[in-house]
Amino acid sequence: MNKIKIYSTMSRKVSELTPMEEGKIKFFVCGPTVYDLSHLGHAKTYTQFDFIVKYLRWRGFEVNYLQNITDLDDKIIKRAAERGISWRQLADDYEKIYKDDMLALHNTAVSKYARATDYIENIVSQVKRMVDKGLAYQAPDGSWYFEIAKFKDYGKLSGRTELKETDGVSRIDESDFKRGWNDFCLWKSSKEGEPSWETELGKGRPGWHIEDTAITEVEFGPQYDIHGGAIDLIFPHHEAEITQIESITGKVPFVRYWMHTGFLNINSVKMSKSLGNFKTIRDVLKQYDYRVLRYFFISNHYRAAVDFSDAGLDQAKNSLARIDEFVFNKVDAAYDDNADEAVVNETKEKFCAALDNDLNTPQAFAALFDFIRAQNQKEKSGKRTFEFLNQVNTFLGFMQFDQAKSDEFIESLVKERDAARAAKDFAKSDQIRDRLLAMGVKIYDSKEGTKYRL
């Protein structure tokens, strides 16, 4: 097969993936801040990285996929106080919900989830090393800040050195004590009633940026292969990470490849609670089967902005139905299709060549549908087609092979659909209808319930 090439935000070009250790990849992705329900932006980013990691493993790499959990910050403290519970309880509750949501989307590639508060010792160690090098200063309130003016490479990832007025302020450390506009907090001094640790830096808690470099230094060392995250984390968060770790270790680059997923919009508008278009993963999974969501996110290139709309979801649902129909009606694993060996191999080569070129899923899916279109002209496809689809489904995760088209199985789906219609759960009813149609089952609604025939 071809060598895998990926785009790095740092180099701004596609280049061959060459890990620090042959055959092994250390891969870190910024995880969620667990203070609220996970939203569709999380679903897009983490589904796409789940696919990427699983593809790399399928291609033979041993991937250690690490994801952090921000289990303490201002938002968590504020939300816990509003609800009258401890910050720990709130963080634990939403961490569990996040992990349940990931399982519901079949995002199972993560090797380890790392809580920020489990790494306080190394967070303190990193800040102390910056202080010892004269790169950090203590404000009158006891907090410690990194002085950007003392790191000449600041801005090399994003191409920016200054915050803009349009930047969100929720992650920008506002303080009258800062020496420079871009200076960011490493260690926040303790406030009455807030969680804190007694350390050599004084009583306090970590800043936001420091947790990621502390976690990866412990788990991966001072340098590793791939750092991923959503595109809105490039500045200032990922700039701050580079600044911190490279300034104290002197090892450059911090990571070899930076991978960033594109924005998710709702009907062409940025998702926002203030605009009333904020969608949680749980709410959307009530409307759409996880397979439709996985197909929708993976079929779009990970670096592209994605518009989440009814039209887009309908298109994804229809495309998935075409795959389902082909699998159920044309693919017979017991059929010996020697004549198809060449065309299956050719399709696999085109499919993988597209993915090897910076995970170009639109091009890969085009090759897959070209193959399905050609095979649909035949009476059936056999074991080589079945084996190929099974292989690629190890990283796609939206195909189904195990439901035999038996009378008992169809009857159970029909009964489930009737129950959904009776409960006026029309979204679920429509999902089951589409599934039956994809299996080649013709259905008819009547006063007595759903009738069907093969």
Q: pLDDT tens, 29-43?
A: 999 999 999 999 999
Choice between 188 and 409, residue whose per-residue pLDDT is larger: 188
The residue among 237, 261, 285 that closes a domain is 261
Mean pLDDT of 249-276: 91
In angstroms, the CA 351 to CA 360 distance is 9
Indicate whether 402 belongs to any domain. Answer: no
Is position 275 within any domain?
yes
pLDDT of residue 91: 98
Q: What is the pLDDT of residue 411?
A: 80
Bond from prior residue into 253 cis (ω within 30 degrees of 0)? yes
Check pLDDT > 70 for residue 44.
yes
Domain finish residue from 241, 261, 281: 261
Euclidean distance between CA atoms 258 and 230, whole angstroms: 11
Q: What is the pLDDT of residue 170?
A: 46
Count the Cβ atoms, other than its own, within 10 Å of residue 169. 9
In a domain, 189, yes or no: yes
Of 37-51, 127-141, 168-182, the poorest mean pLDDT is in 168-182
Q: Do 81 and 193 share a domain, yes or no?
A: yes
Q: Is residue 429 part of a domain?
A: yes
Q: Are strands 306-308 and 264-266 parallel, antiparallel or unpaired?
A: parallel
CA 359 to chain CA centroid, nearest Å? 14
pLDDT reported for residue 390? 95
Domains contained in the chain, number: 3
Return the percentage of the chain with pLDDT > 70, whole number.
Answer: 95
pLDDT tens profile 204-226? 999 999 999 999 999 999 999 99
Q: What is the CATH number of the domain that holds 348?
A: 1.10.730.10
> Which of the residue ranges 90-94, 233-237, 358-362 would you say has the lowest mean pLDDT?
233-237
Residue 246 lies in a domain: yes
- Asked if the structure places residue 16 within a domain, the reply is yes
User: In this structure, what CATH number is given to the domain that contains residue 65?
Assistant: 3.40.50.620
* 58 located within any domain: yes
Domain membership of residue 401 (yes or no) is no
User: How far apart (Å, rounded) are the C-alpha atoms in residues 185 and 178?
Assistant: 9
Cα first-last separation, the chain: 42
Question: Among candidates 42, 14, 165, 15, which has minimal Cα distance to 102?
Answer: 42
pLDDT in tens, 71-91: 999 999 999 999 999 999 999
In the predicted model, is pLDDT for residue 166 greater than 50?
no
Contact between 395 and 55 (Cβ < 8 Å)? yes
**Pairwise pLDDT comparison (407 vs 132), residue with the higher score:** 132
For residue 167, the model assigns a pLDDT of 45
- Mean pLDDT, residues 148-173: 74
Q: Which domain holds residue 318?
A: 269-396
Mean pLDDT over all residues of the chain?
92
Report pTM. Answer: 0.89
Residue-by-residue DSSP string for 424-435: T-HHHHHHHHHH
- Distance of alpha carbon 451 from alpha carbon 430, whole angstroms: 15
Do 119 and 245 belong together in one domain? yes
Q: What is the band of 449 on the pLDDT scale with cuts at 50, 70, 90?
A: confident
